[in-house]
Amino acid sequence: MDASQLSQIAGRHPTRNIGTAMARRIEKVFHKAEGWLDVSHSQLPLQQRAERNVHPARDLQREVPLISWVQAGAWDNLVDTFQPGDAERWIATYASVSNHAFALRIIGDSMTNPHGAPSFPEGTVIIVDPERAAQPGKFVVVRQNSDTECTFKQLVRDGGQHYLKPLNPRYPVFEMLPDAVVAGVVVQAVMDL
């Protein structure tokens, strides 16, 4: 039975009784159990079903300090002496992170992807865990060239060499140098609308 046949059966008044024989034929064609059409399969009224298109948020794991890009470059030296007042503010995270995790606010558009997700537009806050392993494909916060400030890029590997790739194609991909220090791996992005 195709859609046009079903439409002919239902007619203009689809709530009319189609009869037991026809109901069994429809169930058979659509591989439903006998009697399937005899019961309602809507557990909730339409309005309630529409309101349930989201899932509850995961439990809050902790708050992490929002720090500067320069502080991120020296985080391994600062983390043990960091005081609550030293943070710009504290950011709630639902990600499972280590006690040394921190947050950074994105500056600029090098990680804004004009082709869709993933994308980290300016103002997005990223949660960074320094105890996660940096793997190709992950988003990392890195300091290199003896810089005091970190950069945020996607770690990629090509021909045995690691590169730091922006998501915005207007910016160049650059080689990850031997002196590079990975400050952490991004585990969550938080964006205010």
| pLDDT at residue 118 greater than cutoff 60 | yes
Q: State pTM to two decimals.
A: 0.67
Beta carbons within 8 Å of 143's beta carbon, 6+ residues apart = 72, 73, 149, 150, 151, 180, 181, 183
Of 76-80, 113-117, 152-156, 188-192, least confident by mean pLDDT is: 76-80
- Ordered by where they begin, the domains of the chain are 3-51 (no CATH), 62-190 (2.10.109.10)
Tell me the DSSP string of 29-83: HTT--TTGGGS---SS-HHHHHHT-S-PPPPP-EEEEE--HHHHHTHHHHGGG--
| pLDDT at residue 44 greater than cutoff 60 | no
More confident: 31 or 116? 116
Taking only Cα atoms into account, the Rg of the chain, rounded to an integer number of angstroms, comes to: 27
The model's confidence at residue 16, banded by pLDDT at 50, 70 and 90, is low
Please give the pLDDT value at position 119: 94
Report the pLDDT averaged over residues 127-143: 94
Mean pLDDT for all residues in the chain: 82
Beta carbons within 8 Å of 74's beta carbon, 6+ residues apart = 148
Q: Which amino acid is at 53?
A: N
Q: Where are the alpha helices (DSSP H) in the chain?
A: 3-10, 20-29, 46-51, 69-73, 75-78
